């Protein structure tokens, strides 16, 4: 590394090198990984993080996910592997083994990618993952939010960093335009691959990318939209804080359901009420996304009117002083997993695991076999959808219904933390 290239110097690369340094202002991670697809953004992130690690220490790894969606993907992974070998960075390719994919392809691919990478990182003792998203990606996300008529959450863009799957994810280049990263690669003679799906207008993100070009004459740039998203993210953080305070004051959990103080909920602000409601629906229903705005509004109207309703696998029960959101029995009917697996997306059981045991909902028949359930203090509607251990048709344990038999059940994520997801 020449003096002009060193972090903190006045060389052309100095600012780009400082960006990931600012992302980790304290102790630089001892083991850090970069997710590299072979595209320009991730290739630039790989080389910049590798250079900075040479200055600050630590070991850099690279990981590529072959989604098995395009025949070129395997060759692109080999391209990344060769590039990593040239700069002395260990590289591994992970493969998404899947069958027929329905629904939102890009969202499912993203979730699979994150799961594969976080699992790989944990196995290798890596706690930090760098992604190469840029201001252009942030601007595209903002425009996609506008297309969906999103509120402040949908318009505040991608997160700069967050914890997921036992690792910390970081996007240090969210305020950096893609052209700057490509200019860096060109200066240093570093190649990259172009993903043909980036030109496929079936995807909303591609159409948003082209809209950015059309907006440029108005002075609307990727950098400007990225800054707007950052400003909205700051406002969103304050709203989340208000909702967290309200959650502590007017909600409690019971056997996996959420119980609201009705008067306190009605006195809360409009955004806080909506945010608490969505958080409860997502937590109870293990949903990756919030329900559509119109569906949420109808569910909220049912609370004001004091009537029952269902939404997103959840059931609303109303009373004079409280209302509760619990799991809908039909949503868990027939849902069975081994006892050492997560049940219904959130329940983890601890006990004498063994072959032939499964986790299923307790159900009404199972609850009748739990003579001590009234002493638990839990409501009957919540208990019938709680996890129970079965051997065939024989009930072995119902940890929440007073029939523990050496078993306990816990939810992996506390309710208020659902407010922080984005």
pTM, whole model, 2 decimals?
0.80
Tokens of 60: 């850099």
Mean pLDDT of the chain: 91
Contact 388, 336 (CB under 8 A): no
Beta bridge partners, 253, equal 258
Percentage helix, strand, coil, to 5, in the chain? 50, 20, 35
Alpha helices in 124-215 (DSSP H): 135-147, 152-155, 178-187, 204-215
Please state which of the ranges 9-18, 290-299, 395-404 shows the lowest mean pLDDT.
Answer: 9-18
Say which residue, 62 or 214, is predicted with more confidence. Answer: 62
Yes or no: domain 245-327 corresponds to CATH 1.10.8: no
pLDDT at 230: 93
d(CA 156, CA 154): 6
pLDDT digits (tens, 9 = 90+) for 118-147: 999 999 999 999 999 999 999 999 999 988
Structure confidence at residue 421 as a pLDDT band (50, 70, 90): low
Domain boundaries, the chain: 3-227, 245-327, 330-416
Say which residue, 219 or 419, is predicted with more confidence. Answer: 219
d(CA 384, CA 365): 9
Average confidence (pLDDT) over 150-165: 90
Average confidence (pLDDT) over 371-379: 94
pLDDT at 159: 92
d(CA 74, CA 181): 24
Question: Does the structure show a pLDDT above 80 at 195?
Answer: no
Q: How many CB atoms lie within 10 A of CB 105?
A: 14
CATH no. of 3-227? 3.40.50.620
pLDDT at 414: 85
**What percentage of the chain has pLDDT greater than the value 90?**
72
Q: What is the DSSP letter of 291?
A: P
Average confidence (pLDDT) over 10-27: 81
Average confidence (pLDDT) over 392-406: 96
pLDDT digits (tens, 9 = 90+) for 81-94: 999 999 999 999 99
Tokens of 175: 């305020």
Question: Does the structure show a pLDDT above 80 at 420?
Answer: no
Average confidence (pLDDT) over 254-264: 96
Beta bridge partners, 202, equal none
Contact 341, 396 (CB under 8 A): no
Say which residue, 97 or 403, is predicted with more confidence. Answer: 403
pLDDT at 282: 94
DSSP symbols for 343-398: BTTTEEEES---TT-EEEE-HHHHHHT-TTGGGG---HHHHTTSEEEEETTEEEEB
Placement of tokens 């208000």 in the chain = 242
Average confidence (pLDDT) over 283-311: 93
Structure confidence at residue 2 as a pLDDT band (50, 70, 90): very low
Average confidence (pLDDT) over 106-124: 90
DSSP symbols for 157-180: -S-SEEEETTEEEE-TTTTS-HHH
Q: In what order do the strands lie in the sheet with 358-361?
A: 337-338, 358-361, 387-391, 394-397
pLDDT at 391: 96
Structure confidence at residue 191 as a pLDDT band (50, 70, 90): very high
pLDDT at 364: 95
pLDDT at 200: 66
């Amino acid at each position: 590394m020449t003096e002009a290239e060193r972090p903190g110097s006045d060389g052309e690369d100095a600012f780009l090198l400082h960006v990931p340094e600012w992302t980790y202002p304290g102790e630089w991670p001892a083991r850090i990984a970069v997710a590299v697809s072979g595209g320009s953004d991730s290739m630039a992130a790989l080389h910049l993080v590798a250079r900075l690690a040479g200055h600050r220490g630590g070991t850099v790894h690279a990981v590529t996910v072959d989604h098995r969606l395009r025949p070129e993907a395997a060759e692109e992974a080999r391209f990344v592997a060769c590039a990593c070998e040239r700069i002395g960075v260990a590289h591994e390719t992970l493969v998404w083994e899947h069958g027929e994919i329905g629904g939102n392809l890009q969202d499912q691919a993203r979730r699979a990618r994150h799961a594969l990478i976080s699992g790989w990182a944990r196995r290798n003792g890596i706690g930090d993952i760098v992604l190469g998203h840029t201001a252009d990606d942030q601007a595209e996300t903002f425009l996609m939010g506008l297309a969906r008529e999103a509120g402040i959450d949908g318009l505040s863009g991608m997160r700069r960093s967050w914890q997921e799957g036992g690792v910390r994810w970081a996007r240090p280049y969210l305020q950096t335009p893609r052209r700057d990263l490509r200019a860096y690669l060109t200066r240093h003679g570093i190649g990259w691959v172009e993903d043909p799906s980036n030109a496929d207008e079936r995807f909303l993100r591609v159409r948003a990318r082209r809209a950015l070009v059309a907006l440029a004459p108005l002075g609307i740039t990727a950098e400007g939209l990225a800054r707007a998203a950052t400003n909205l993210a700051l406002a969103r953080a304050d709203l989340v804080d208000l909702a967290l305070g309200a959650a502590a004051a007017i909600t409690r959990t019971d056997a996996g359901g959420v119980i609201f103080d009705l008067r306190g909920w009605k006195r809360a602000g409009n955004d806080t009420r909506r945010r608490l409601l969505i958080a409860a629906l997502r937590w109870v229903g293990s949903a990756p996304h919030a329900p559509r705005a119109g569906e949420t509004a109808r569910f909220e109207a049912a609370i004001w009117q004091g009537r029952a309703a269902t939404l997103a696998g959840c059931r609303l029960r109303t009373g004079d002083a409280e209302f509760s959101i619990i799991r809908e029995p039909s949503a868990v009917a027939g849902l069975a997993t081994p006892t050492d697996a997560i049940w219904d997306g959130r329940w983890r059981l601890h006990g004498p695991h063994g072959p032939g045991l499964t986790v299923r909902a307790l159900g009404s028949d199972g609850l009748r076999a739990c003579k001590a359930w009234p002493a638990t203090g839990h409501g009957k509607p919540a208990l019938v959808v709680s996890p129970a251990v079965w051997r065939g048709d024989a009930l072995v344990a119902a940890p929440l219904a007073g029939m523990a038999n050496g078993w306990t059940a816990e939810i992996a994520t506390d309710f208020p933390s659902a407010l922080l997801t984005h």
